[in-house]
Structure 1
């Protein structure tokens, strides 16, 4: 799987996630990272069989055999980026046998064991999440209990300082003026003009601000932004835009000035967005609908013990300020015992347990997979 195909697979999941969860009347703030989910789905696909394998292959847009290596390739490409940190962690019960071939797909040192004490394990997992995200995500999003046999997690953190900082007006807005008119533009999309503005970081990370017509759902705006970055839609840069109002929030005009040079004035708002996502609320989107059925096992390539998905969640955060951008996401999938095909189910288990709305996409200019996406309602 080459880089272009890999970027397309990750960005395809980003677009489907946006459309699937920010459609219709949904206008709430959110942030999410398909780049944090995709490697875990690919690893699960590599160990899956039957209908669960097919659904996971569809979610990652490649066959399971290719996904196995592509997961490692994506993690390596992300980890090599300046300003991006990523990590994979695997914890299992000591009694759970693992297939050596599947375990070898994970980075060295990623595998640990549960102690069997729920509180101790929770503290270990929370510390891992906090450490791998520089404190931005302080807790593992999936809780571990006595039924958890395996937990697979990914942490992703990114940070950049703006090449051209904003002025903080202390009135709830950020402003900057630039000579680079091509840092903003308007894309021609099926729903109409999409306004796009790029904010460059000092280390290759770019944040693209997106604004569509007011009647268009946030998920469609984000999905169109992903498509525009991939070249699907033509984007007319600021220096070629016609006079008037060629896009939402855009005015092109001549003004009286002592400086005759053209300028791009960008006004936005600082924001911090936090979100938690239960991936099983949209199990079909992530290829987990069949895999969550504990009536059978779905991952013979991971363990001879029948396994099913017990939980799958992501916690994410993003902060856009006058000087830079910070974001992080921790995604985790837990596996519980499934039943072997045809096996009598006789074991007893006793469970006791006490400015205007706009979107954003963060990418790296050398490997333009969307790292973090979100929606803001100032």
Structure 2
């Protein structure tokens, strides 16, 4: 199925965006509870389009794009995301009174994306917070930027990403039957979710098991459970690999009595014959938020030179000397019985400087249980573009 994002992004573009997400998450000491490499990607393109020399080359390398593709990316991604089912993206640029933006640079952005900073911190904060809230449907109410920093902000670039889908098959929720074993067995009233699927949504490999929870639009959420001895980074790496539908093998290939990570295959007698896969899933609701300072991720994101006040070069953005003084992201994700929603606001700030049945049919069922910390990611199903990812350390409680 061809979608607006297919037309906006080539397979190479999607691979580049996913590679940025992988490299960024791998570079951090801990996997965040919620993070969006896609929220960062267009901002890096906007910076690259205004950069020169080594700063330009470093940003292009991080993007995984050539200069021509980078120049067109913000508008293409914006148009494609806005037309996608369950996905929305907004971009914003606010310039202070001392900054005159290069007209060639602004020509690549929609007119409505360009705004102004007044220098009145209270007024600017109110306007920026309102923009963040409006473009995330209230999931994120505050722009993650410090307007009172030592280096006064003269230019602000921001993206707002909103992902929302309802499950094709809803979960049944309970908090009265806690896990019998595992680290979450000691929790009081975890929000446990259970569903049964009649399609092949469970894949297994040596190191991980991945359940695909299908949304009713173009968004899927993948849950990845790793071996007990794997670090979160290794589980996340396996989950990112699983964005490729060819990863692993179907759990339906497991024999009765065979086990995989978190999976048990059994048989039972039923009143009707089996006509397709039967997958049982026990997961948990989660509601997670992360506020991330991206300045420590400069190498992974291609911001080493861009954040250096002496070496940064952005002559194609504005005549005034600028460098990236702040880079932050606020991200939230909610997984519940009826659906999933996530939002990310990312900022780079620049400073100057019936009857009784007869049970006669044998049926086979694979059950997976997420009863310990796991990784998740939301994916645009038609393209494989990773939208949001994170690590669930604890479930939501009733």
TM-score (norm 2): 0.84
**In structure 2, what is the equivalent of residue 291 of structure 1?**
306
**In structure 2, what is the equivalent of residue 134 of structure 1?**
137
**In structure 2, what is the equivalent of residue 265 of structure 1?**
280
* Contact residue 21 and residue 219 of structure 1 kept, 8 A: no
Residues in 2 aligned to 1:29 and 1:97: alpha-carbon distance in whole angstroms:
36
* Contact residue 82 and residue 203 of structure 1 kept, 8 A: yes
Are 1:324 and 2:339 matched, yes or no? yes
Q: 1:162 aligns with which of 167, 172, 176?
A: 167
Q: Which runs of 5+ in 2 are unaligned?
A: 1-7, 177-190, 354-370
Q: 1:248 aligns with which of 258, 261, 284?
A: 261
**In structure 1, what is the equivalent of residue 181 of structure 2?**
none
Q: CA, structure 1 residues 244+377, in 2 after alignment: closer, same or farther (shift >3 Å)?
A: farther
**In structure 2, what is the equivalent of residue 204 of structure 1?**
218
**In structure 2, what is the equivalent of residue 8 of structure 1?**
15
Post-superposition shift, 1:296?
A: 4.1
Residues in 1 aligned to 2:311 and 2:38: alpha-carbon distance in whole angstroms:
29
Q: Deviations over 1:253-303 (max 9, x none)?
A: 223444442521000000001001111111101111111111244111101
Q: Which runs of 5+ in 1 are unaligned?
A: 339-354
Residues in 2 aligned to 1:200 and 1:88: alpha-carbon distance in whole angstroms:
28
Question: SS in structure 2 opposite 1:276?
Answer: strand
**In structure 1, what is the equivalent of residue 367 of structure 2?**
none
Are 1:195 and 2:209 matched, yes or no? yes
Residues in 1 aligned to 2:273 and 2:175: alpha-carbon distance in whole angstroms:
29
Post-superposition shift, 1:239?
A: 1.8
Q: CA, structure 1 residues 130+221, in 2 after alignment: closer, same or farther (shift >3 Å)?
A: same
* Contact residue 193 and residue 246 of structure 1 kept, 8 A: no
**In structure 1, what is the equivalent of residue 233 of structure 2?**
219
Residues in 1 aligned to 2:9 and 2:289: alpha-carbon distance in whole angstroms:
33
* Contact residue 6 and residue 70 of structure 1 kept, 8 A: no
TM-score (norm 1): 0.89
Q: Which runs of 4+ in 1 moved over 4 A?
A: none
Q: CA, structure 1 residues 310+78, in 2 after alignment: closer, same or farther (shift >3 Å)?
A: same
**In structure 2, what is the equivalent of residue 173 of structure 1?**
192
Question: SS in structure 2 opposite 1:32?
Answer: coil
* Contact residue 20 and residue 219 of structure 1 kept, 8 A: no
Q: CA, structure 1 residues 244+56, in 2 after alignment: closer, same or farther (shift >3 Å)?
A: farther
**In structure 1, what is the equivalent of residue 204 of structure 2?**
186
**In structure 2, what is the equivalent of residue 345 of structure 1?**
none
Question: SS in structure 2 opposite 1:37?
Answer: helix
- Aligned pairs, number: 352
Post-superposition shift, 1:325?
A: 0.4
Residues in 2 aligned to 1:2 and 1:34: alpha-carbon distance in whole angstroms:
16
